[in-house]
Chains A and B, each alone.
Chain A
Amino acid sequence: DSGVTQTPKHLITATGQRVTLRCSPRSGDLSVYWYQQSLDQGLQFLIQYYNGEERAKGNILERFSAQQFPDLHSELNLSSLELGDSALYFCASSVGDGELFFGEGSRLTVL
């Protein structure tokens, strides 16, 4: 158990819909990272937050947005969903030393 909690574990929705994925970091970790992993693809870095502020952006689509709240949990919002958005979405947290702790992921299926 990494200490990072992601909900929901599985989500099935239709094209054009909007979903929110939630991540609770390990206690004391200020950094939260979001990654997307499509079938047989590598981990794509989406975005990183540190203590409520956006710190780095990767290949995140404009239809996607994220935020980190004062209690340090984070949400990834995916809108106008397309079939190609079906993937595993991982959240990771860190104290800021490069050692990332990953959650078990949220599997999104867009039909």
Chain B
Amino acid sequence: DAKTTQPNSMESNEEEPVHLPCNHSTISGTDYIHWYRQLPSQGPEYVIHGLTSNVNNRMASLAIAEDRKSSTLILHRATLRDAAVYYCILIDRETSYDKVIFGPGTSLSVIP
């Protein structure tokens, strides 16, 4: 399984932008980059995913490096509700999403 590397923890001030990095130097051409987050005492929730181009949705933006070896999840204005563990995952569409493996993720703290 292709692996990702994320910082263990990050801090952000409320209402400021947050950039959560993810390195995936062994990514293959058929790997999609997915981001999930897990709020305290809840199951993970899907945030965003992309293949090559940058992506935006109502929750966040995903910036993908040109060589695809890294990506950044951008929260445009952090709120207290964004305090969570953020997971960056590679999912190979060739295997039809059979195995979705979560790493340790980045624990984001938001300071009021």
A interface residues (Cβ-Cβ under 8 A, vs B): 2, 4, 31, 33, 35, 42-43, 45, 48, 50, 55-56, 58, 90, 92, 94, 96-105
Asked whether any CB of chain A lies closer than 8 Å to the CB of B103, the reply is yes
Q: A98-B32, A98-B49, A99-B49 are contacts. A90–B43 as well, Cβ < 8 Å? A: yes
Chain A nearest CB, measured from B62 CB (Å): 14
Chain B nearest CB, measured from A22 CB (Å): 15
Name the residue of chain A whose CB is nearest to the CB of B91.
A98
- Asked if residues A104 and B101 are in contact (CB atoms below 8 Å), the reply is no
Residue interface mask B99-110, A partner, CB < 8 A = 1 = 111111100000
- Asked if residues A102 and B43 are in contact (CB atoms below 8 Å), the reply is yes
Chain A nearest CB, measured from B38 CB (Å): 8
- Asked if residues A99 and B98 are in contact (CB atoms below 8 Å), the reply is no
- Asked if residues B99 and A43 are in contact (CB atoms below 8 Å), the reply is no
Asked whether any CB of chain A lies closer than 8 Å to the CB of B3, the reply is no
Chain A nearest CB, measured from B108 CB (Å): 15
Chain A nearest CB, measured from B101 CB (Å): 5
Name the residue of chain A whose CB is nearest to the CB of B104.
A42
Q: A42-B102, A43-B102 are contacts. A102–B97 as well, Cβ < 8 Å? A: no
- Of the candidates B46, B102, B105, which one forms a contact with A99 in the assembled complex, judged by CB atoms under 8 Å apart? B46
Q: Which residues of B contact A99 (CB under 8 A)?
A: 34, 46, 49
In the bound assembly, the distance between CA atoms of A90 and B38 in angstroms comes to 12
A96-B96, A100-B44, A102-B43 known; 12 new pairs, CB 8 Å cut-off, are A4-B43, A35-B102, A42-B102, A42-B104, A43-B44, A43-B102, A48-B99, A55-B98, A97-B97, A98-B34, A98-B49, A100-B36
